Amino acid sequence: MTNIPSVDLADFLSEDPERKQRFVDEIGTAYEDIGFVSVKNHFLSNDLMDSLYSEIKGFFALPLEIKSKYESKELGGQRGYISFGKEHAKGKKEGDLKEFWHFGQEPSEDANLIEEYPENVMVEEQPLFNETGMEAYRMLEKTGIYMLRALSLYIGLDEKYFDYWASNGNSILRPIHYPPITTEPKGAVRAGAHGDINLITLLMGASAGGLQVLRNDGVWLDAIPEEGELVVNVGDMLERHTNNKLRSTIHRVINPPKEQWGTPRYSIPFFMHPRSEMKLNCLEECIDEDHPKGYDDITSGEFLQQRLVEIGLLKK
């Protein structure tokens, strides 16, 4: 394998049972093997993606004193601006060479949530920033729910098993800016080797280069989707819930060759989280004699708190 597998969401959405089953088999096999796929025919239009890139490039180009007024220590990085070098990979001391923004869930009135999500931070300087970000958020959430439906069928669950938990879940849309590298990084990279915390991640912007996935044999593989495709990978919550049947693959964003240090990089991951009360207990469908239960019982909210401390966004 020289690249991550590519799948077509239109197959799953079709009325043809054979096409739908082929999609289920393709992503299930890919997520057992390498944990990553690229997806075409998702719900984000090219116009919406272009608008979002325009808005986030405009924001990150603002002076630091303006961006900094949107950063709040009290929110623990859950909403708004997170400045350069604040986050690091689990087990690493060096801060990643990036700054980013967090859009969060704006739940429907009938969501009946047991928790309250922080309100999104409004950017005064760009009237369309929040509107565009949340429109993309909704389309990524919709795409993610269909991906989870396919995985539910692959595992042997009801197709809509994840619908309630992922709808109005604690998901995050994170536009990231990796600025030009101006001095020797001294051990820091744009994003250190890590696994994602959540159920699945849907990523825009991987085509800019630098994203690498760790194969089973220890070789780093460049993830290079076609133009307009999303890269979708399994997170630690789903790996835990499926008792390691589906893999949360270690990945990283490496620094470019020195002659390209002056080029910034943008990417926009959508971290799909369930509601905090969802139990991540190992599914019975994924436990047998050869695969005994591998994890203690825990909720997604408890697991998220642990991991935010480990990566430096929350203090103990």
Predicted local distance difference test score (pLDDT) of residue 25:
97
- Residue 193 has phi, psi (to 5 degrees) of -55, 130
**145, two tokens:** 């729910």
Q: Is residue 250 part of a domain?
A: yes
Q: Is residue 1 part of a domain?
A: no
Q: Is residue 115 part of a domain?
A: yes
d(CA 106, CA 151): 25
What would the pLDDT profile of 47-63 be if each residue is shown by its tens digit? Answer: 999 999 999 999 999 99
- Residue 91 has phi, psi (to 5 degrees) of 85, 0
pLDDT of 81 above 50: yes
Q: Is residue 67 part of a domain?
A: yes
Q: Is residue 271 part of a domain?
A: yes
Q: How many domains does the chain have?
A: 1
Which pTM value belongs to this model?
0.89
Which sign does the torsion angle of CA 155, 10, 231, 127 carry?
negative
Report the percent of the chain where pLDDT is more than 90.
62
Q: Is residue 218 part of a domain?
A: yes
Q: Is residue 315 part of a domain?
A: no
pLDDT of 20 above 90: yes
What would the pLDDT profile of 149-191 be if each residue is shown by its tens digit? Answer: 999 999 999 999 999 999 999 999 999 998 876 666 555 555 6
CA distances from 162 to 61, 108, 159, 209 (A): 38, 17, 8, 32
Which sign does the torsion angle of CA 199, 147, 154, 245 carry?
negative
Domain residue limits at 100: 6-310
Q: Domain with 243 in it: what CATH number?
A: 2.60.120.330
Q: Annotate 56-67 with b (16+ C-beta within 10 A) or e (fewer).
A: beebbeeeeeeb
d(CA 55, CA 218): 38
CA distances from 198 to 47, 97, 248, 305, 308 (A): 28, 22, 9, 12, 11
